[in-house]
């Protein structure tokens, strides 16, 4: 457990070869926590793999799934600072960054702020933290999944249904009444499952505590524009020109509808975009696994 200040302790672990190539994994969400599965994309003989649970989730404390939670010290800047503190604590000069979905946003922000600390990057389920990306997921996909979206929209008070749905849900999720925040968490997570039709329901959503932490953290970040200046990740992608990268994206990932993978690859000189047919927003499909493992194997040398 790493004391990162503000009353937060961040869980971390190191796997593989103590003398191997350093790599850090950044989980999605925000709020899913790291899993043992993230280790499996790395050859344990060649990599020293660092995993950690971002503030408020997984085994980090305080947990956002407690009945009452304070998220005031949980922002993108805080998470970036936690990464730097962990890197310094472990005595790592440079590390490969591996991240997906929200993890790809965090990876990109970190690399743009600390480009000399990054050796390579392997990203999937690509996102840059823009409002247009999160607006797509909360409102734009309503025409694709009309019945599920109607249930999702109707989970907030009528006066909030034409506004920022992430903000409306966040207000309900932070309500101290368990009846209110537990229903909001269930409604939010049901929509999350609905917009990834190529994958089975997310098993972790069966846990009420996980649902609440996940929904609180996602809506906290999305309602604040991921605590980033709009479009800053793409504008500053040129800073990454010297960093080798594989950007893996499923052709059926609905995030493609706003063009993020192509815009990112175009803005990042030297990056390699790999589009994987018949794969959605998931690392579990074999073709995606093959691309990710192929990338880490290549970068191991």
DSSP bridge partners of 244: none
Active site annotation includes 204: no
**Which residues neighbour 88 within 8 Å (Cβ) at sequence distance 6 or greater?**
none
State the residue for tokens 């907030």. 156
Ramachandran angles phi, psi of 46, nearest 5°: -115, -10
Q: Which of 27, 164, 253, 282 does the annotation list as catalytic? A: 253
What 8-state DSSP symbol labels residue 13? E
DSSP bridge partners of 2: 10
Q: How many angstroms separate the CA atoms of 157 and 93, rounded? A: 50
The sign of the CA dihedral 74, 57, 137, 261 is: positive
Helix (H/G/I), strand (E/B), else coil: 141: helix
**Which residues neighbour 166 within 8 Å (Cβ) at sequence distance 6 or greater?**
134, 138, 218, 219, 222, 223
Name the helix (H) or strand (E) containing 50. strand 47-52
Q: Which of 101, 104, 223, 226 does the annotation list as catalytic? A: 101
Active site annotation includes 63: no
Q: Which of 78, 82, 281, 282 does the annotation list as catalytic? A: 281
- Residue 224 has, within 13 A of its CA and on its CB side, a CA count of 18
Contact status, residue 10 vs residue 87, Cβ threshold 8 Å: no
Tell me which residue of 184, 166, 186, 163 sits closest to 175, measured CA to CA.
184
Active site annotation includes 281: yes
Please count the other Cβ atoms lying within 10 Å of the Cβ belonging to residue 28. 24
**Catalytic residue numbers?**
101, 253, 281
């Amino acid at each position: 457990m790493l004391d990162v200040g503000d009353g937060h302790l961040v869980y971390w672990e190191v796997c593989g070869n103590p003398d191997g190539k350093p790599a850090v994994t950044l989980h999605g969400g925000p709020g899913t926590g790291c899993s043992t599965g993230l280790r499996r994309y790395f050859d344990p003989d060649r990599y020293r793999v660092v995993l950690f649970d971002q503030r408020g989730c997984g085994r980090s404390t305080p947990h956002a799934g407690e009945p009452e939670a304070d998220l005031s010290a949980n922002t993108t800047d805080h998470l970036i600072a936690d990464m730097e503190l962990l890197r310094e604590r472990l005595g790592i000069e440079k590390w490969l960054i591996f991240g997906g979905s929200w993890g790809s946003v965090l990876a990109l922000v970190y690399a743009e702020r600390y480009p000399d600390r990054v050796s390579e990057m392997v990203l999937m389920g690509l996102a840059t933290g823009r409002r247009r990306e999160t607006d797509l997921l909360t409102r734009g996909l309503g025409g694709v999944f009309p019945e599920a979206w109607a249930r999702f929209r109707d989970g907030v008070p009528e006066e909030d249904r034409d506004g920022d749905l992430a903000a409306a849900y966040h207000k309900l999720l932070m309500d101290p009444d368990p009846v209110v925040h537990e229903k909001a968490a269930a409604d939010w997570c049901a929509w999350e499952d609905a917009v990834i039709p190529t994958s089975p329901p997310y098993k972790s959503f069966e846990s009420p505590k996980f649902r609440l932490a996940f929904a609180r953290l996602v809506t906290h970040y999305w309602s604040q524009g991921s605590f980033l200046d709009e479009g800053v990740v793409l504008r500053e992608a040129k800073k990454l020109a010297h960093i080798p990268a594989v950007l893996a994206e499923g052709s059926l990932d609905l995030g493609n509808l706003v063009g993020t993978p192509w815009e990112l690859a175009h803005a990042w000189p030297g990056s390699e975009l790999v589009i994987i047919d018949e794969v959605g927003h998931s690392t579990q499909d074999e073709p995606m696994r093959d691309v990710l493992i192929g990338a880490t194997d290549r970068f191991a040398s």
